[in-house]
Structure 1
Amino acid sequence: MIKQEKKFNLLGSKSFVVLLIATVASSLSLSMFMFIQSWYVVAELNKEAGLGIIMICLTVPRMFSMIIGGVLADQKRQNRIMFLSDSSTAIVLFGLAILFMYFNEVPIWILAINAAFIGIFGGIFEPARDSLLPKIVKTEQLTRANSMTQGAIQIALFSGPLLAGLLISVISYHLLLIIISLLLCLSGIGVLFIKIPQKQNRLDEQPEINFINNLKEGFVYTWQEPLMRGIFIIAMVSNLFISGPLMMGLPIFVRGVLDGNSLDFSFVQGGLTFGMIAGSVLIGVINMKKNRGAYTLYLIALQGVGMLVFSQIQTLSIAVIVIIIIGVLIPAINIPLVSMVQTYTDENKVGRVMSLIRTGSLGLIPLSYAITSSLLGLGIDINVIMAWSSLPLLACTAILFILVPVIRKTD
Structure 2
Amino acid sequence: MNDITFWKRNFVLLALGRFVSILGSSIQAVAIPLFVLDLTHSGTAVATMSIAYMLPRILLMPIAGIIGDRGNRKFLMVSMDFLRGILICFLSFLAFRNAITLSVLYVSQVAMAVMDNLFDIPTGAMFPDIVPEDFLMRANSIMGMVRIFPQILGPALGGMIYGFYGIAIVFLVNGVSFILSAISEIFIVYRQKIEKKPSHFKQILQDLKEGFLFIWNHSLIRTILIFALFLNLLISPLFMVVYPYTIREVMKFSAQEFGFLETSFTLGALFGNLLIASYLSKRNMWKAMKVSIFLFELPIVFLGVLVMPDFSSSVERLVLFMMFFVTFLIMGFLNPIINVPLDTAFQKMTPSHIRARAFSFLVLVANGVTPLGSVLYGYLVDRVSIHFLYYTVGVLSFLIAVLLLVALRGKELPT
TM value normalised by structure 2: 0.88
The count of residues paired between Structure 1 and Structure 2 equals 397
Q: Deviations over 1:116-140 (max 9, x none)?
A: 1111111222222221111111111
Alignment partners' CA distance in 1, 2:283 and 2:253: 43
Quote the offset at 1:97 in angstroms.
2.0
**Counterpart amino acid of 1:110?**
V
Q: 2:317 — aligned with what? A: none
- Cα gap change, 1:288/1:231 in structure 2, threshold over 3 Å: closer, same or farther? farther
Once the two structures are superposed, the pairs formed by residues 261-272 of structure 1 within 5 Å of their partners are 261-272=254-265
Q: 2:184 — aligned with what? A: 190
Once the two structures are superposed, the pairs formed by residues 362-381 of structure 1 within 5 Å of their partners are 362-378=367-383, 380-381=384-385
Alignment partners' CA distance in 2, 1:270 and 1:176: 21
Once the two structures are superposed, the pairs formed by residues 178-257 of structure 1 within 5 Å of their partners are 178-196=172-190, 198=191, 200=192, 202-203=193-194, 206-208=196-198, 210-257=203-250
Instruction: Give 3-state SS (helix, strand or coil) of 1:110's partner.
Output: helix
Q: 1:93 — aligned with what? A: 88
Match of 1:67 among 56, 62, 69: 62
Unaligned runs of 5+ in 2: 307-311, 313-319
Q: Deviations over 1:257-301 (max 9, x none)?
A: 544333332332221121122212222222436654453333222
Q: Deviations over 1:93-148 (max 9, x none)?
A: 123223222236x3323212211111111122222222111111111111111111
Alignment partners' CA distance in 2, 1:37 and 1:319: 28
Task: Please tell me whether the aligned partners of residues 231 and 400 of structure 2 are also in contact (alpha carbons under 8 angstroms).
Answer: no
**Counterpart amino acid of 2:154?**
G
* Greater mean alpha carbon deviation, residues 168-177 or residues 51-60: 168-177
Match of 2:401 among 393, 397, 401: 397
1:173 aligns with 2:161: no
- Misfit runs of 4+, over 4 Å: 9-12, 406-411
* Greater mean alpha carbon deviation, residues 142-151 or residues 84-93: 84-93
Percent identical among aligned pairs is 22
Task: Please tell me whether the aligned partners of residues 401 and 407 of structure 1 are also in contact (alpha carbons under 8 angstroms).
Answer: no
Alignment partners' CA distance in 2, 1:406 and 1:154: 34
Alignment partners' CA distance in 1, 2:66 and 2:385: 43
Task: Please tell me whether the aligned partners of residues 349 and 414 of structure 2 are also in contact (alpha carbons under 8 angstroms).
Answer: no
Alignment partners' CA distance in 1, 2:6 and 2:264: 28
Q: 1:346 — aligned with what? A: 351
Task: Please tell me whether the aligned partners of residues 242 and 381 of structure 2 are also in contact (alpha carbons under 8 angstroms).
Answer: no
Quote the offset at 1:35 in angstroms.
1.9
TM value normalised by structure 1: 0.89
**Counterpart amino acid of 1:14?**
R
Q: Deviations over 1:53-108 (max 9, x none)?
A: 1111111111233322222222223221111221221222123223222236x332
Instruction: Give 3-state SS (helix, strand or coil) of 1:86's partner.
Output: helix
Unaligned runs of 5+ in 1: 1-8
Alignment partners' CA distance in 2, 1:12 and 1:212: 35
Quote the offset at 1:43 in angstroms.
2.2
Q: 2:115 — aligned with what? A: 121
Task: Please tell me whether the aligned partners of residues 241 and 389 of structure 1 are also in contact (alpha carbons under 8 angstroms).
Answer: yes
Q: 2:141 — aligned with what? A: 147
| C-alpha RMSD of matched pairs (Å) | 2.4
Quote the offset at 1:409 in angstroms.
5.7
Match of 2:77 among 59, 67, 82: 82
Task: Please tell me whether the aligned partners of residues 57 and 116 of structure 1 are also in contact (alpha carbons under 8 angstroms).
Answer: yes
**Counterpart amino acid of 2:233?**
L
- Cα gap change, 1:325/1:193 in structure 2, threshold over 3 Å: closer, same or farther? same
* Greater mean alpha carbon deviation, residues 140-149 or residues 356-365: 356-365
Alignment partners' CA distance in 2, 1:373 and 1:266: 22
**Counterpart amino acid of 1:115?**
Q
Alignment partners' CA distance in 2, 1:237 and 1:144: 28
Q: Deviations over 1:149-188 (max 9, x none)?
A: 1121122223222222222233232233123212211212
Task: Please tell me whether the aligned partners of residues 7 and 130 of structure 2 are also in contact (alpha carbons under 8 angstroms).
Answer: no
Alignment partners' CA distance in 2, 1:159 and 1:272: 14
Instruction: Give 3-state SS (helix, strand or coil) of 2:91's partner.
Output: helix
Match of 1:282 among 244, 268, 275: 275
Q: Deviations over 1:201-233 (max 9, x none)?
A: x32x64446222111100011111011112322
Quote the offset at 1:406 in angstroms.
6.2
1:322 aligns with 2:315: no
Task: Please tell me whether the aligned partners of residues 275 and 328 of structure 1 are also in contact (alpha carbons under 8 angstroms).
Answer: yes
Alignment partners' CA distance in 2, 1:103 and 1:410: 54
